[in-house]
Amino acid sequence: SQQGEEDPQALSIQEGENATMNCSYKTSINNLQWYRQNSGRGLVHLILIRSNEREKHSGRLRVTLDTSKKSSSLLITASRAADTASYFCATAPGNNDMRFGAGTRLTVKP
Partner 1 sequence: KAGVTQTPRYLIKTRGQQVTLSCSPISGHRSVSWYQQTPGQGLQFLFEYFSETQRNKGNFPGRFSGRQFSNSRSEMNVSTLELGDSALYLCASSSFGRGQDTQYFGPGTRLTVL
Q: Which residues bind partner 1 (CB under 8 A)?
A: 1-2, 30-31, 33, 35, 40-45, 48, 88, 90-92, 95-103
Q: Which residues pair with 108 in a beta bridge?
A: 13
SS3 81: helix
Minimum CB separation of residue 55 from partner 1 in Å reads 19
39/68 with CB nearer partner 1: 39
Q: Give the dihedral sign, CA 106/89/23/100.
A: positive
45/57 with CB nearer partner 1: 45
Strands 55-58 and 5-7: unpaired
57/109 with CB nearer partner 1: 57
